[in-house]
């Protein structure tokens, strides 16, 4: 089985936040101590890091799961729980991350680029955090937030200096084995190469000064056929490795066994490159005729090489080295890569109709607002109402068309919406708490409408 893997999946699970603590001071000669519950620790994050020392996605083929540790719970005496450890996942430079639905999320194009793929859950606040002049003995605390969890599709786009392009069995593998230490599988049948092979080519003596020698990475791309741009013959899997090559080397089969004449081969290859990504036709390229030792065709203006006898190899490598050096110099003048840290955009609050008389409010901010341990505590309910109002949930429901008596669901909570000529909101101040408790006992659900208006 090949050790080169250019497509894989990742399942990232960030750590959960620790729960806040409900505790009160217990001291001698102090009848009722104040709240002293500590906060829970935040769960660990999961980051992707583009690492130049990684060559493929092999590490994800049999083990796609990555986990971060949870935050610890808070304890009494205002002792906060420790934070979960972050996990850094190294991937090759050129890794592209997609959602399960195919949406492009991030492209890690340079060494050191990082991306937050799963954020750890926030730790819950202990009851000491809710002490105020109006609330002297808060008996509630927050639950820890659940860490993010997602599946991702990873694809690797090689960043070689030179990409060898040609029909199957045109001699690409033989050429790269001749000019580098790469040892790809070589045989006399099409599609011998099923994964790209990389080789480092050195031009100049090993004892030469650094400025007098050039090294570049050459990629042997599996053979292309007509229709590759639309996916025929795994064309998309092969062509994506050409996207970032600095120079293209197009090989044309000059032997009598070639499926097409050299000009027709060139026309097909350039058409497939252009159909896949038009700017590939603007890349510097060298066109050469392969299998010169058994050539049965000629093409004007195209040099001939033979990877078997070595004919024209030295001149071709020198020509490619000059082009690579020129392109590198232009890139350095145009842009010096700076490490980029990618983070997802904050979640927005959503309001969706879930039934004829019910609504569902989503988004991480509102789920954070309702993560209390005891959802039957009156003070906790009042705090939830305040938070939802501050987030503008009442305004969003009003604009969405919520009607008096509609049931609104926010995470584990359900409450009735009301609206009248004066305004709209999440609770009513004229309802008795006893009625709420009776309704809770009877229906087993929460109703915020009676929790008291704190506006």
Concatenated DSSP letters of 83-152: PPPPEEEEEETTEEEEETT--EEEEE-STT-EEEEEPPPPPPPPGGGG--SS-SS----BPPPPPPEEEE
- 306 φ, ψ (degrees, to nearest 5): -140, 115
CATH code of the domain in which 62 resides = 2.70.210.12
For residue 345, being part of any structural domain is answered with no
CB 107 within 8 A of CB 170: no
Strand partners, 252: 289
Residue 339 lies in a domain: no
DSSP 325-340: HHHHHHHHHH------
Give the Cβ contact number of residue 364 at 10 Å: 16
Specify the CATH number for the domain of residue 435.
3.30.300.350
Residues 356 and 286 placed together within one structural domain of the fold: no
pTM of the model: 0.69
Query: Can you give the pLDDT at residue 230?
Result: 42
Domain that holds residue 57: 1-156
In a domain, 59, yes or no: yes
**Domain count across the chain:** 3
Low-confidence ranges of the chain (pLDDT < 70): 1-4, 31-32, 182-195, 205-213, 223-238, 334-337, 419-455
The position carrying tokens 């569902």 is: 360
Task: Give the model's pLDDT for residue 191.
Answer: 41
The reply to whether 275 and 175 lie within a common domain is yes
Let me know if residue 326 belongs to a domain: yes
SS3 state at 160 = coil
Please say whether the beta carbons of 341 and 114 come within 8 A. Answer: yes
455 domain residue, yes or no: no
Cα 374 from Cα 140, distance rounded (Å): 6
**278 and 406 inside one domain:** no
For position 210, what pLDDT does the model report? 45
- Tell me whether residue 266 is in a domain: yes
**342 within domain boundaries:** no
If asked whether residues 294 and 360 sit together in one domain, one would say: no
> 302, 334, 366: which is the final residue of a domain?
334
* Number of residues that this document lists for the chain: 455
């Amino acid at each position: 089985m090949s050790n080169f893997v250019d497509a894989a999946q990742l399942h990232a699970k960030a750590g959960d936040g620790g729960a806040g603590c409900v505790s009160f001071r217990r001291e001698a000669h102090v009848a009722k101590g104040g709240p002293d519950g500590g906060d829970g620790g935040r769960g660990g994050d999961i980051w992707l890091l583009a690492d130049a020392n990684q060559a493929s996605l092999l590490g994800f083929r049999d083990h796609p799961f990555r986990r971060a540790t949870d935050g610890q719970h808070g304890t009494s005496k205002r002792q906060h729980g420790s934070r979960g450890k972050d996990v850094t996942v190294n991937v090759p430079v050129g890794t592209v991350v997609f959602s399960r639905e195919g949406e492009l999320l991030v492209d890690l194009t340079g060494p050191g680029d990082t991306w937050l793929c799963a954020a750890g859950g926030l730790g819950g606040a202990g009851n000491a955090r809710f002490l105020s002049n109006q609330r002297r003995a808060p008996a509630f605390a927050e639950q820890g937030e659940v860490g993010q969890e997602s599946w991702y599709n990873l694809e690797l786009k090689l960043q070689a200096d030179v990409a060898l392009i040609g029909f199957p069995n045109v001699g690409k593998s033989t050429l790269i084995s001749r000019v580098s230490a790469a040892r790809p599988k070589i045989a006399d049948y099409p599609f011998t190469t099923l994964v790209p092979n990389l080789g480092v080519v050195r031009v100049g003596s090993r004892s030469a000064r650094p400025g007098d020698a050039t090294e570049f990475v050459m990629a042997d791309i599996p053979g292309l056929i007509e229709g590759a741009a639309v996916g025929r013959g795994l064309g998309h899997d092969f062509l994506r490795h050409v996207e970032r090559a600095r120079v293209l080397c197009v090989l044309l089969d000059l032997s009598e066994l070639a499926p097409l004449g050299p000009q027709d081969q060139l026309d097909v290859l350039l058409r497939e490159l252009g159909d896949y990504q038009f700017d590939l036709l603007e890349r510097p390229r060298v066109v050469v005729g392969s299998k010169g030792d058994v050539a049965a065709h000629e093409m004007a203006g195209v040099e001939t090489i033979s990877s078997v006898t070595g004919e024209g190899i030295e001149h071709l490598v020198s020509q490619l080295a000059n082009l690579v050096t020129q392109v590198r110099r232009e890139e350095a003048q145009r842009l010096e890569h700076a490490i980029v840290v990618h983070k997802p955009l904050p979640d927005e609050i959503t309001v969706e109709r879930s039934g004829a008389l019910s609504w569902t409010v989503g988004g991480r901010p509102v789920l954070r607002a309702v993560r209390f341990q005891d959802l039957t505590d009156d003070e906790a309910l009042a705090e939830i109402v305040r938070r939802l109002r501050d987030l503008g949930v009442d305004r969003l429901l009003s604009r969405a068309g919520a009607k008096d008596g509609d049931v609104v669901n926010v995470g584990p909570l359900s409450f009735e919406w009301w609206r009248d000529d004066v305004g709209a909101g999440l609770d009513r101040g004229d309802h008795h708490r006893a009625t709420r408790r009776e309704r809770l006992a009877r229906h087993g659900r929460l109703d915020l409408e009676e929790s008291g208006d704190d506006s």
